[in-house]
Structure 1
C-alpha cells in the first residue's frame, strides 16, 4: 500500500470543497478506493457527533452521544453507548484497537470487524471538530494506517475550519433534541422552560410565552430562568392586561388556528395583541396549545420586523402539540400519585406518605399529634356509615383549617388522624392541638389529641406510640382534650 498516494488522492480535492459536508464526503470516497475498511466521519453538532459521511457498512450510527454517564443529567447510559469515537473526540487522542471484542466502548456496525482506528479531526489551533473512524474485518497495518489517518484528519480539519466549521444543527435536529428534553421534563416548570427554550431556538425569535388554563382563569406559564428583555416586557404587559385578555388570546388561537405576522410596516394589530405591541413586539407567531376546551396558546415574538416562513410556524405547532402531550402526561401522573397516596373519602394523605414524613422527623422540633374522634362508633351505629363518612369529611376540613401553613394532616385509620407539625418547643405543639379541639367543637363533635415530640435516637414508630398513649390518657380523663407525652 502506497500511503503517500492515499494522502495525495484524498487531499487533492479538499481545496475545491465548498462545504464541510463536501469535504467529508470526498475524503470518504477517496479513502474507499484504497481500503476495504468501513469508513465514517463524524462532526460535532450541538452535544453529539453526527455521521456526515460514511461507506462500507450495512448501517452506521446517525449520531453518537458525547457526554459520559457522570456528565449526563439523565439516566446513566449503558457502557457500550460511550463509544470509541466519543472517547477519541473527548480526549483528543487517537485510538488503535487491534481487537474490538476486548474494548467495552466498541459500537458494532458490522459482525466481522476485528480492528478499529479512530483519530480526532481538529482545526489548525487544535480545537476538536470531529473524528475519522476506520474499521477492518481482516489483517491491517495499524501503525501505518494510524499515521495516515491522522494526516488526512488534520488536512480535513483545516479545510473544515476554513469553511467556517462543521455544519450547523438543522431545525429538524433542534426539534428532535427539544422534544426529547420536553419528554423527560420531571415537572410542569421544567416542561414550560423546555418548551419556551425550544420555541425560541427553533424559530430564531427572541421571546416566547406560554398562556395556560388555570383552575379558575388563564395564567402565564412560569418557567425557571431569567427571561430576555422583550420577554420580560411581554410578561409584564400580559400580567397588567389581566386574565380576560389572556382568555381572549386563547380563544382567538383555538377559534382560528395559528397566525403570524408578514413583516410589513404600517399595519395595526388586532385589539387582542395590543399588549404585545406595547411591549415592543414587531414579529409574532401565535399557535394554539392543547384542545379547544381547556387549552392554551404559545406566543413567540421578536423586536425585529421579520416574516416567519410557514415551515417555522409548522415547527412551532409541532412543539406546542408535544408540549401539551407532555404536560397532560405530567398532570395525569401527578393525579395518579395523589390518588395512590390520598384517602379517597377525605382527600387527606394516608399511611404511605405519613410513614415517609415521620421518618424525616427532627428530634425536639417535629411534633406528632395523634387525633381520635370521640364517640365515632356511636354515630355509625345510630345513624349509619354514610353519616359517619360525612362527619369525617367535615371534621377533616375543620382540622385542616385550624392548622398553620406547612403543617400536615393525615388520615391513618377509620376515625384516626395524625398531624405532623414543626415547633420550637413542646408548649407550641400543645397550643396547636388545643386549636384543633376548638375547631372540632365548632363542628358539633369533640376529639382527643395526644402530643409527642421525637427524642434523640428514637424511631418514628416509637414517637407515634407515645402520641397514641397520650391520646388514651385523654380518653381516660373524659375525652375532649389534649395530653403531652413526657419528654
Structure 2
C-alpha cells in the first residue's frame, strides 16, 4: 500500500485500494468511511452482505472513533452498546481514525472480525495504513465532495421535516442555492390576496436582497406575470450569452443585476402555486442536470407545502365547530385548564326556546339561528375574550375580569345583543375558586344558568362565590 497509494488518482480510488489490499490478508469486513457534509459516508467496503451508506458522526463505534480521534479495539462486540450490526457472525472490531497530516480526523478505517484474531498487530497495521491513506486523501484534495444528488436528498429531508410554511420556504430557498451553486434564490407564491414573496434565507446576501427589493417595487401585477409565465410555458433558463435583452416580464430581475436565471414553476397555478427564481450576477449557462434537480426540488417543496396546509386545515377542523367556526370542547378544555382563580370568568350560555325552532321550522332554520347568534355574541365580546360552542345550543364564553360585577356586565351585554337579533339567552356566570377544578367552575355556571331558566329565562345570574 505504501507503494501503491501514491498512484491513486482520486480519494475514492485510494480508499478502494486500501480495502482491497487489506481484504487479501484479513478475514474481516473492511470499510472506509469519510466525513462528507454532516455524515460519515462509506466510500469503500468489502466482506459484507450489506453496509450502511452513511452514518451520523457520533453513531456507532465508527462515529465514536471519528468524534474522539481515538482508536477502538473491541474484543467482543456484544459487550459494546455502540456496535452497529452489519452481519450476524461478527465477534470483534478494530476501528482507527483516518487523519489529515495535521492530525484532524477526516474519516475512519474499520475492520470487523468474524473469526478469532490477534487484534494488537492488526491495530498497529490499521493505524499505519490509515495514516498513509489520510495523507494521500489530503494530497488529492480531501474527501470526495457531496454530489448534487446527495445534496438534493439532504435538502429533501430538511423540507419534509419543516413544521411551518416559513421554515419550509427558508429551507427551499437555501436548497435551491446549494444545489444550483447560483448565488440567489427567491420564491414567489400566488394567493387569495395576490402574489407574495416567500420567506428569505436567514441571512440573504446583498444580491438576493436587491432582487427581493426590485420585485417588491415592481408590484403584484409584475409578480403575477412571472408566475403565469412559468406555469404557462414551463421551466426556463438563460443560455449565458451576452447582448440579448430580457423579455418584459424579466425586467425587474434584470434591474436587480440578474444575468443568469432559472425559473421553475411550483405547484399548480390555480391552487396558490408559484415560481422559484434562482439567479446569479455572473453570466453563466446552467446545465440541464442542474435545471432538472431544481425541478425535483420545486416538486418536493410543493408536496411539503401542500401537506402542511392540509395538516393545518385538519387541525382547524379538529379544533373548531364546523357549523359556527367556534372552538369546541377540546380547545375549551385546554383553555379553562389554565384559568386564573378570581380572574377567569366562565359564562355558560343557553339559547332560550331553541328546541321549538327546530321542531317548527326544521334543523336548517335552527342552524341559521345558531350561526347568527354566534356571530352576534362574538361581536359583543372584548378583544381577547373567547367563545366556544360545547353543545347543540350551548355556548361558553371565557373572559378575564378584575371583579365579578365586570363579568356580569359583559354577560348582560351578550343578552342584550341576542335580543337585538330577535332571540333571548340565559347566562350563568362563575369565577373559579382557589383550588377548584375548571369542571366544577363550569358546573356552578350551569347551575346559575338553570336558575335563570327557572325564573323565566332571558337573564343573567352570578353563581355564589
Do the aligned partners of 1:11 and 1:27 also contact (CA within 8 Å) in 2? no
Question: Matched residues in 1 for 2:210 and 2:463: separation?
Answer: 56
1:169 aligns to what? 146
Deviation at 1:486, TM superposition (A): 4.6
Structure 1 position 60 matched with structure 2 position 51: yes
2:232 aligns to what? 255
Deviation at 1:98, TM superposition (A): 1.4
Structure 1 position 302 matched with structure 2 position 302: no
1:27 aligns to what? 18
Deviation at 1:426, TM superposition (A): 4.7
Question: Matched residues in 2 for 1:153 and 1:240: separation?
Answer: 58
Deviation at 1:149, TM superposition (A): 1.0
Question: Matched residues in 1 for 2:320 and 2:390: separation?
Answer: 10
Do the aligned partners of 2:227 and 2:274 also contact (CA within 8 Å) in 1? yes
Question: Matched residues in 2 for 1:167 and 1:149: separation?
Answer: 21
Deviation at 1:167, TM superposition (A): 1.2
2:297 aligns to what? 319
Structure 1 position 202 matched with structure 2 position 193: no
Q: Which moved more, 1:148-157 or 1:237-246?
A: 237-246
Go from structure 1 to structure 2 and tell me whether the alpha carbon gap of 1:477 and 1:267 turns closer, same or farther (over 3 Å shift): farther
Aligned positions, number? 464
Report the 3-state secondary structure (helix = DSSP H, G, I; strand = E; otherwise coil) of the residue aligned with 2:270. coil
The one-character-per-residue Cα deviations of 1:93-128 (angstroms, maximum 9, x if unpaired) are 211111222323222222222111111111222222
Go from structure 1 to structure 2 and tell me whether the alpha carbon gap of 1:227 and 1:385 turns closer, same or farther (over 3 Å shift): same
For residue 44 of structure 1, the aligned residue among 23, 35, 38 is 35
Do the aligned partners of 2:260 and 2:284 also contact (CA within 8 Å) in 1? yes
1:400-419 aligned within 5 A: 400-419=378-397
For structure 2, the residue ranges without an aligned partner over 5 or more in a row are none
1:470-485 aligned within 5 A: 470-476=448-454, 478-485=456-463
For structure 1, the residue ranges without an aligned partner over 5 or more in a row are 1-9, 68-81
Structure 1 position 129 matched with structure 2 position 106: yes
Go from structure 1 to structure 2 and tell me whether the alpha carbon gap of 1:84 and 1:389 turns closer, same or farther (over 3 Å shift): same
Deviation at 1:325, TM superposition (A): 1.0
1:158 aligns to what? 135
Go from structure 1 to structure 2 and tell me whether the alpha carbon gap of 1:103 and 1:186 turns closer, same or farther (over 3 Å shift): same
Question: Matched residues in 2 for 1:59 and 1:251: separation?
Answer: 48
1:17 aligns to what? 8
Question: Matched residues in 2 for 1:362 and 1:49: separation?
Answer: 52
Structure 1 position 106 matched with structure 2 position 83: yes
1:373 aligns to what? 351
For residue 333 of structure 2, the aligned residue among 349, 355, 377 is 355
For residue 269 of structure 1, the aligned residue among 219, 240, 246 is 246
1:75 aligns to what? none
Question: Matched residues in 1 for 2:387 and 2:201: separation?
Answer: 30
Structure 1 position 231 matched with structure 2 position 208: yes
Structure 1 position 139 matched with structure 2 position 130: no
Do the aligned partners of 1:380 and 1:387 also contact (CA within 8 Å) in 2? yes
Deviation at 1:405, TM superposition (A): 4.4
2:95 aligns to what? 118
Q: Which moved more, 1:252-261 or 1:97-106?
A: 97-106
Deviation at 1:254, TM superposition (A): 0.7
For residue 467 of structure 1, the aligned residue among 434, 445, 451 is 445
Do the aligned partners of 2:27 and 2:115 also contact (CA within 8 Å) in 1? no
1:86 aligns to what? 63
Do the aligned partners of 1:253 and 1:288 also contact (CA within 8 Å) in 2? yes
Question: Matched residues in 2 for 1:338 and 1:429: separation?
Answer: 29
Question: Matched residues in 2 for 1:286 and 1:24: separation?
Answer: 40
Go from structure 1 to structure 2 and tell me whether the alpha carbon gap of 1:237 and 1:433 turns closer, same or farther (over 3 Å shift): farther
Q: Which moved more, 1:374-383 or 1:57-66?
A: 374-383
Go from structure 1 to structure 2 and tell me whether the alpha carbon gap of 1:51 and 1:337 turns closer, same or farther (over 3 Å shift): same
Do the aligned partners of 2:319 and 2:327 also contact (CA within 8 Å) in 1? yes
Go from structure 1 to structure 2 and tell me whether the alpha carbon gap of 1:258 and 1:446 turns closer, same or farther (over 3 Å shift): same
Question: Matched residues in 2 for 1:428 and 1:164: separation?
Answer: 75
1:212 aligns to what? 189
Do the aligned partners of 1:190 and 1:223 also contact (CA within 8 Å) in 2? no
Report the 3-state secondary structure (helix = DSSP H, G, I; strand = E; otherwise coil) of the residue aligned with 1:441. helix
Report the 3-state secondary structure (helix = DSSP H, G, I; strand = E; otherwise coil) of the residue aligned with 2:27. coil
Deviation at 1:53, TM superposition (A): 1.0
Question: Matched residues in 2 for 1:417 and 1:65: separation?
Answer: 53
Question: Matched residues in 1 for 2:408 and 2:139: separation?
Answer: 77
Question: Matched residues in 2 for 1:146 and 1:429: separation?
Answer: 79
Do the aligned partners of 1:182 and 1:194 also contact (CA within 8 Å) in 2? yes
Go from structure 1 to structure 2 and tell me whether the alpha carbon gap of 1:446 and 1:239 turns closer, same or farther (over 3 Å shift): farther
What's the RMSD between the two structures over aligned residues?
A: 2.2
The one-character-per-residue Cα deviations of 1:26-64 (angstroms, maximum 9, x if unpaired) are 211222222221110000111111001111222211111
Go from structure 1 to structure 2 and tell me whether the alpha carbon gap of 1:127 and 1:440 turns closer, same or farther (over 3 Å shift): farther
Question: Matched residues in 1 for 2:373 and 2:217: separation?
Answer: 40
TM-score, scaled to structure 2: 0.93
Do the aligned partners of 1:20 and 1:166 also contact (CA within 8 Å) in 2? yes
TM-score, scaled to structure 1: 0.89
